Amino acid sequence: MRLLRVATCNLNQWAMDFDTNLRNVKESIARAKAAGAAVRVGPELELTGYGCEDHFLEQDTTAHAWECLKDILTGDYTDNILCSIGMPVIFNSVRYNCQVFCLNRKIIMIRPKMSLANDGNYREFRWFSAWTFKDEIVEFQLPIEVSEAITQDTVPFGYGYMRFLDVSLAAETCEELFTANAPRIDLALNGVEVFMNASGSHHQLRKLNLRIDSIRNATQTCGGVYMYANQQGCDGGRLYYDGCCCIAVNGDLVAQGSQFSLKDVEVMDALVDLDAVSSYRASVSSFREQASHRTNVPFVKVPYKLCQSFRNGMVPTSPVQVMYHCPEEEIAFGPSCWLWDYLRRSQASGFLLPLSGGADSSSVAAIVGCMCQLVIKDIEKGDEQVKADALRIGQYKDGEIPTDRRELAKRLFYTVYMGTENSSEDTRLRAKRLAHEIGSFHLNVPIDSIVSAFLSLFETLTGKRPRYKVDGGSNIENLGLQNIQARIRMVLAFMMASLMPWVHNKSGFYLVLGSSNVDEGLRGYLTKYDCSSADINPIGSVSKQDLRAFLRWAAIHLKYSSLAEVESAPPTAELEPIRANYSQLDEVDMGMTYEELSIYGRLRKIFRCGPVSMFQASISIFENLCHSWCGRLSPSEVADKVKHFFKYYAINRHKMTVLTPSYHAESYSPEDNRFDLRQFLYNSRWPYQFRKINELVQEMDKDGKWETPAEGQLTMQTGAQGSGMGVVAAGSANPSAGF
């Protein structure tokens, strides 16, 4: 029996912070060695951090990575352990994303990435080239400083595997796991038994199962041991890398790390039986036949043994149950950990949130509260790094230790209810109760006097004073009055964030948190430069539907019971006067429900639908609107809905150019910076596309394929409890909620 102990890890790296990154890499190697591992794999580009982006174009970045690698190789870190270390490498003036394999203070091989990630949030082709040569391994001349330090001039470079005396190992890098013609297929047919995947994979709601299934299927089809390493945390941008390092053997997971954590380093190890891999493969006739006439893959011979012989008491690691978080837990823990990383690395002293008592700002408050709970739990578990960060950020005195989540929140979190005459007593009390449950320092700040001052100035300048719609004003007046309230709140929030620490004799500043959700961003239902404009936003890529489910979950599991009342209340901006016969509601203002918005968003982004294909998708797997509402709406009514959405999407797209940096969580995010790249000046009439839709409607009506529902069959569903695709007025007011 050939037994091999292998180790993988989650590392919380920070782009361009070489000291932190090197320290984490060293710590992970030390822990792997302490566990008795003979092989260790780390995350993709772990020395630089994955998110360096255009810093990869700087020669310094690659040079510093080599300096860090030299530091590792000149110590005893790689003694008796094969280490895969991720870093950029320039070969013949071309930059590659590489895994560098080191053993006993020498470099065994450099493996460049062959399939680059270049969609969604990924732009690897902007900085790297893919290695395309599969038939040979070439010699790479090491940098002089490294060469002299380790007395080695050259190293094998390219696609291939390492043949040790007792085991064959090879690499895959992140995206290569998911490609149709994955490298592991030919490598497995050439006898490679252990695959080492260095990854930089970010969190997205409901995504983990796809990754785990790919890892398990990789070893179920071809057999073998698959080691997966990942970054974990915020490395300086919108993404949260969600760890979940793991080890799979012949289709079974035998080790799994955490998906969300405040730890800087987490190492998982397993003892694997390589003879079980050989037996598994030999039992599959199709694998034997394909292996017998395989395409040979180049390899590097390494005269060294990694395995250990069987001894009494040595038992291969047994399979484990895969751990998945529900979406509500993902919303709680992912953004919480992202916020903690951002807070401790930004040198800020805490957060300030305009808390309205509505679903969105209450969700953000609950996430900050969850962050405080996680910090206290990790301190209780003995995490010295989390403790040191909490002591510094909370500005505790010598001898004081954070022990209570509410006391910690009092130091780190300010909430401000900025009410006007249009605000209800219900939202004010909901904000106050939630702040008390979380423990934040809460302020109730009436802003009517500031609004009145602006209106008086405007009246002095123009001789006119605008009125609300309910008081006889026009839509233009109504919108202007709402916008001034919203924008005053933004200015006041930033002023308080910079000055309140001074008021309380604390150093530093507070980060302002935004609270607009992905659906409002998609529709543009937010005021440009209002409280949606902040330093960062933990829910900017989360849908309203998911947030409401999160509120129900958090009311119980985070023990913030007031959230149940928040969730049950109909969404409203409270920017217009409340009358006996009128109360402002978001879904009426928008002319569509939040459920409809989620469908529009998925069709637009995930299924790549323009106006015409959104109306009538030709492939049945598309959840197109005609099929979804068949029997409830006529073709012309579905057409009106689609045109209504695209009209206001086009009008408001410009708002995405100034959207607050948001935690990425949803696959249909309209975030303009890197994920959803589109113009921001549209012909909002969409004349050609809408004309085509009208033609399709006429054909459908003529063919008689659709029956118009009988009178009374259609229902109006506004507010949070609506479960269907409600029919809403296409001509509703407040089209942009702030241009």
Q: Residue 30 belongs to a domain with what CATH number? A: 3.60.110.10
Distances (CA, A) of 588 to 151, 573, 737: 73, 11, 12
Query: Residues 174, 222, 234, 626: which is the catalytic one?
Result: 174
Residue 605, amino acid = K
Give tens-digit pLDDT for 246-302: 999 999 999 999 999 999 999 999 999 999 999 999 999 999 999 998 889 999 999
The residue with tokens 């992912």 is 334
CA distance 239 to 241: 6
Tell me: the pLDDT tens digits for 386-404? Answer: 999 999 999 999 999 999 9
Q: Are residues 600 and 539 in the same domain?
A: no
CA 77, CA 67: separation in Å to the nearest integer? Answer: 15
**Structural domain ending residue among the three candidates 323, 346, 377:** 323
3-state class (DSSP) for residue 466: coil
Catalytic residue among 52, 83, 102, 113: 113
Sign of CA dihedral 546, 552, 558, 563: positive
Q: 213-219: long-range contacts (C-beta < 8 A, 24 or more apart)?
A: 214/177, 214/178, 215/177, 215/246, 215/248, 215/253, 216/248, 216/251, 216/252, 216/253, 217/251, 218/177, 218/182, 218/184, 218/248, 219/195, 219/248, 219/249, 219/250, 219/251
pLDDT of residue 586: 79
Tokens of 316: 């291969």
Looking at the structure, tell me whether residues 302 and 411 fall in a common domain: no
For residue 447, give every residue at least 6 positions away whose Cβ sits within 8 Å of its Cβ, in sequence order, or none: 418, 419, 420, 485, 488, 489, 492
- By residue range, what is the domain housing residue 681? 586-703
Shared domain for 87 and 192, answered yes or no, is: yes
| Residues 303 and 353 placed together within one structural domain of the fold | no
pLDDT in the model for residue 688:
86
Q: For residue 605, is pLDDT > 90?
A: no
The candidate with the shortest Cα–Cα distance to 513, out of 402, 656, 360, is 360
Residue 579 falls inside a structural domain:
no
Q: Mark whether 356 is an active-site residue.
A: yes
| Nearest to 727, CA basis, from 628, 633, 643 | 633
Confidence band, pLDDT 50/70/90 cuts, at residue 721: very low
Both tokens of residue 134?
Answer: 């599969």
Give me the number of domains the chain comprises. Answer: 3
Q: Is 174 a catalytic residue?
A: yes
Q: Which two tokens mark 512?
A: 């302002």
Q: What is the pLDDT of residue 1?
A: 79
**Cβ pair 260, 287 in contact under 8 A:** no
- The whole-number pLDDT of residue 579 equals 81
Residue 334 placed within a domain:
yes
What is the reported pLDDT for 67? 97
Same domain, 152 and 261: yes
The helix/strand/coil state of 707 is: coil
**Cβ atoms < 10 Å from Cβ of 425:** 9
- Residue 603's Cβ-count burial label (10 Å; 0-12, 13-18, 19+) is buried
Which two three-digit tokens encode residue 26?
């060293």
pLDDT at 715: 34
State the CB neighbour count (10 A cutoff) for residue 516: 25
CA–CA separation, 335 and 366 (whole Å) = 11
Q: Backbone phi, then psi, for 271, in 5-degree steps?
A: -100, 115
What tokens appear for 231 in the block? 């970054």
The pLDDT score that the predictor gives to residue 636 is 83
Q: Which of 539, 569, 599 is the last residue of a domain?
A: 569
- pLDDT above 90 covers a percentage of the chain that reads 73
Residues 289 and 351 in one domain: no
Residue 74 lies in a domain: yes
Give CA separation, 633 vs 621, 628, 699, in Å. Answer: 20, 10, 16
Tell me whether residue 484 is in a domain.
no
Map tokens 């809408």 to a residue: 690
* Stronger pLDDT, 465 or 584, i.e. the higher one: 465
Q: Answer whether residue 618 shows pLDDT above 50.
A: no
643 CB contacts (<8 Å, ≥6 apart)?
A: 611, 686, 690, 693
Any catalytic annotation for residue 705? no
Claim to verify: residue 243 and residue 334 sit in the same structural domain: no
Tell me the mean pLDDT in the region 31-38: 98
Q: Does residue 713 belong to any structural domain of this protein?
A: no
Convert the pLDDT of each residue in 131-152 to its tens digit.
Answer: 999 988 999 999 999 999 999 9
Query: Of 254, 211, 201, 250, nearest to 10 (Cα)?
Result: 201
> Parallel, antiparallel, or unpaired for β 94-103 and 82-91?
antiparallel
214 in the same domain as 344: no
Of the residues 356, 362, 440, 533, which is catalytic?
A: 356
pTM for this prediction? 0.90
Question: What average pLDDT does the structure give for the chain?
Answer: 90
Q: Determine the average pLDDT of the residues in 474-492.
A: 94
Q: What was the pLDDT predicted at 677? A: 79
User: Is residue 716 domain-resident?
Assistant: no
Q: Which of 9, 28, 33, 44 is catalytic?
A: 44
Q: Which of 56-60, 145-149, 314-318, 687-691 has the lowest mean pLDDT?
A: 687-691
The pLDDT, as a whole number, for residue 727 is 31
Residue 42 has pLDDT above 50, yes or no: yes
* Domain co-membership, 308 together with 431: no
The pLDDT-based confidence of 583 (bands split at 50, 70, 90) is confident
Q: Are residues 540 and 607 in the same domain?
A: no
Model confidence at 59, in pLDDT bands (50, 70, 90)?
very high
**CB–CB of 347/506 below 8 Å?**
no
The pLDDT assigned to 90 comes to: 98
pLDDT at 441: 97
Looking at the structure, do residues 384 and 300 belong to the same domain, yes or no?
Answer: no
Domain boundary among 323, 338, 362: 323
Q: How confident is the model at residue 36 (pLDDT cuts 50, 70, 90)?
A: very high
The per-residue pLDDT for 627 is: 59
Q: Each residue of 73-106: b (16+ CB within 10 Å) or e? A: beeebbeebbbbbbbbbebeeebbbbbbbbbebe
Q: Is residue 515 part of a domain?
A: yes
Instruction: Reply yes or no on whether 53 is catalytic.
Output: no
Q: Residue 595 has what pLDDT?
A: 84
Shared domain for 248 and 102, answered yes or no, is: yes
What was the pLDDT predicted at 738? 37
Query: What percent of the chain is modeled with pLDDT above 70?
Result: 93
- The Cα–Cα gap between 268 and 244 comes to 10
Domain contains 399 = yes
